[in-house]
Amino acid sequence: MTPLAHVLALPVRAYRAVFSPWVGHNCRYQPTCSAYALQALEKHGALRGGWLALRRIGRCHPWGGFGIDNVPD
C-alpha cells in the first residue's frame, strides 16, 4: 500500500474500530463498505482506490443495489 493510501485508510480503520460495533451489521453489500475501501486502497492505491471506495459508499443507500460487489481488477 502506498503511503498516501495508508493515510486514507486511517479514517476507515477508525470507523471500523469505533463506530462499526455500534452501528451493527446492516450492510447491503458483501464485502462491507469499509472492507471494500481497504481492499481498494491496497489493490489500486490512493487515487483509484479512493475513487472506488467513494463510488461504493455513494451506492450504499436504501434504493441502491445489494449482493456481492468485489473490488475490480
What residue spans define the domains of the chain?
Answer: 3-68
**35-66 confidence digits (pLDDT tens):** 999 999 999 999 999 999 999 999 988 888 88
> What does the pLDDT read at residue 1?
85
Residue 34 · residue 15 · CB < 8 Å: yes
**6-38 confidence digits (pLDDT tens):** 999 999 999 999 988 888 777 889 999 999 999
Average pLDDT across the chain, whole number: 92
Residue 26 · residue 34 · CB < 8 Å: no
User: Cell 456481492 identifies what position?
Assistant: 68
Contacts of 70 (CB under 8 A, 6+ apart): 31
Tally helices (H) and strands (E) across the chain: 3, 2
